[in-house]
């Protein structure tokens, strides 16, 4: 079982400690660790693929937490949100899709390289006009 865990640990892209330390922490914090162990590698591969797609689409993605944090928070149970594709009109205007509006959860477009909090047009129309002058609402 330690070999199976080590294979997962080697795939994890974030900061990690030694295999023994990480495995002992995993066993200590999760009573169901034997049932969960086979799903870890599948989950991390899915999350890696999701983040790589986000980067290819020039969408913001958070960094990887320490492996201990990832395991203690049971992040293998996270569901990956759908990746929105930019429409040709949005791409032409220099916009990319952002996952969700900070206020209502709807899709929100932001300019490439813009690190401000994303809001959709309905929640912050005046901010959107200022942020994207010349774009019709």
Helix residue spans in 12-109 (DSSP H): 19-29, 33-56, 67-72, 88-92
**Do residues 80 and 44 lie in contact, with contact meaning Cβ atoms separated by under 8 Å?**
no
What was the pLDDT predicted at 112?
42
pLDDT digits 0-9 by tens, 89-119:
666 666 655 556 656 666 655 544 444 555 5
Q: What secondary structure letter does DSSP report for 75?
A: G
d(CA 120, CA 8): 38
**Do residues 20 and 28 lie in contact, with contact meaning Cβ atoms separated by under 8 Å?**
no
**Do residues 55 and 4 lie in contact, with contact meaning Cβ atoms separated by under 8 Å?**
no
Buried residues in 76-104 as b, exposed as e (16+ CB within 10 A): beeeeeeebebeeebeeeebbbbbebeee
Blockwise average pLDDT, block size 10, the chain, 137 residues: 93 93 94 93 91 81 92 90 64 59 60 52 57 51
d(CA 97, CA 118): 10
């Amino acid at each position: 079982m330690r070999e199976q865990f080590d294979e997962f640990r080697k795939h994890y892209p974030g900061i990690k400690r030694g295999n023994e330390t990480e495995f002992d922490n995993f066993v200590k914090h999760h009573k169901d660790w034997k049932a969960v162990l086979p799903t870890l590698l599948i989950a991390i591969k899915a999350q890696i693929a999701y983040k790589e797609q986000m980067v290819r689409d020039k969408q913001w993605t958070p960094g990887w937490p320490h492996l201990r944090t990832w395991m203690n928070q049971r992040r293998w149970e996270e569901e990956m949100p759908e990746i929105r594709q930019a429409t040709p009109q949005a791409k032409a205007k220099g916009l990319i899709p952002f996952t969700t509006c900070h206020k209502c959860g709807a899709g929100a477009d932001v300019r490439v390289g813009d690190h401000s909090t994303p809001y959709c047009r309905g929640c912050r129309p005046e901010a959107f006009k200022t942020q994207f002058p010349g774009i019709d609402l």
